[in-house]
Amino acid sequence: MIYLDSAATSLLKPKSVSRAVARAIDTMASPGRGAHRAAMLAADTVFDCRSAVAELFDVPEPEQVVFTLNATHALNIAIRSLASRGSRVTVSGYEHNSVMRVLYDLGCDVSVAESPLFDEDAAVTAFRRLIPQSDLVICNHVSNVFGFILPIKRISEICAEYGVPLIIDASQSAGITKISFTELGAQYIAMPGHKGLLGPQGTGVLLCGDVGRPLLCGGTGSDSINEKMPDYLPDRLEAGTHNVAGIAGLREGIRYIKSMGEERICGYETMLCGIMADRLSEVEGLTVYRSNRSQAGVLSVRHKRIDPEALCGMLGEHGIAARCGLHCAPLAHRTVGTLDTGTLRLSFSPFLSKANVIEAANTITRLINSKIHQ
């Protein structure tokens, strides 16, 4: 199988990740729940991973790193800590349902900073127009549909100028592009562990600029006499038993990223994306959504006669894993004009070779040509 669905989850991972998960299951108990060896080994592993995340993302203190189940969990904590019914919230035109459904559930007054695909200046202009009237800004760093790298630093500077808190959804950028929590000045940055960070499913991270509002209440292994959740991080936002095995695997994913470097990973994935885009641009009737300067390793395509779902099924039968549809981001499709059918999405990984991508591109070309000429 040629795996081109890393934007959904990083099936291709360093071997050290699965080994760490298995070792944790065999040797580790729960952190903060005992002084025996198994509990202490778990506590050390969780702290080591927390420290590694803080170092990777330039977070002042490891305690500001909160472990979650996934990016959706992290975004719910962040949004519900800063927004409520009637809050005026500005979002990009490329947000995921992990953001939009929370805002609508809360009853927020949502404004969309609409801008054309891959147009950074237009995105900045749209945000500048809306931020002065906003109580909160939420911005997707990289579109999970089109790979558009939004100008997050410029947007963060406008938020700082007007004193408006910022939440960044780094689901498609964490581990792939350089992110400095300190430089961006965001109140929260949310990310999954199982995508660019190369960890297992069931892991996520929230980088915190304040203590936040607990989404769950319960045991923390600390301050047990207190009837309320602790007022300090990370305990305040980490109720219940940690996913120790997942965190152990995540630590290995982060070690791999640090050894390779985000710039190298991003450059390689972008190169693979470019090879695919170049080859598919020659296919009759196929629209390729690409940019030469503002795109990460995520590529969407759409054929004028073949439904993306049908094309995705054909690829699956020929050993190519991709994704079709709206990708849980109807707002992005509404912005670009693909809401009626969605797209076929191809996403890349540091564990793919050029030969894999060329073979996949040739297969896609052959299948489309055979379909439209049959």
Residue 203: how many CB atoms within 10 A of its CB?
27
pTM for the model: 0.97
As a whole number, mean pLDDT of residues 250-277 equals 98
- Give me the pLDDT at residue 34, please: 84
To the nearest whole percent, how much of the chain has pLDDT over 70? 100
Residues in the chain: 374
- Give me the pLDDT at residue 373, please: 74
- Give me the pLDDT at residue 84, please: 98
As a whole number, mean pLDDT of residues 201-228 equals 94
- Give me the pLDDT at residue 222, please: 87
Confidence tier at 374 by pLDDT (50, 70, 90):
low
pLDDT of 223 above 90: no
Query: SS3 of 237, please?
Result: helix
- Give me the pLDDT at residue 372, please: 80
Question: What span, in angstroms and rounded, lies between the C-alpha atoms of 268 and 264?
Answer: 6
Nearest to 132 by CA among 108, 113, 146, 104: 113
pLDDT of 80 above 70: yes
What would you report as the CA-atom Rg of the chain, rounded to the nearest whole angstrom? 21
Chain centroid offset of residue 337 CA: 23
- Give me the pLDDT at residue 6, please: 98
Token output for 229 = 């959740």
Residue at token pair 């305690």: 63
pLDDT of 179 above 70: yes
**pLDDT tens profile 92-143:** 999 999 999 999 999 999 999 999 999 999 999 999 999 999 999 999 999 9
- Which amino acid is it at 294? S
The per-residue pLDDT of the chain, averaged, comes to 97
- Give me the pLDDT at residue 122, please: 98
Token output for 354 = 């050029």
pLDDT of 342 above 70: yes
As a whole number, mean pLDDT of residues 305-319 equals 96
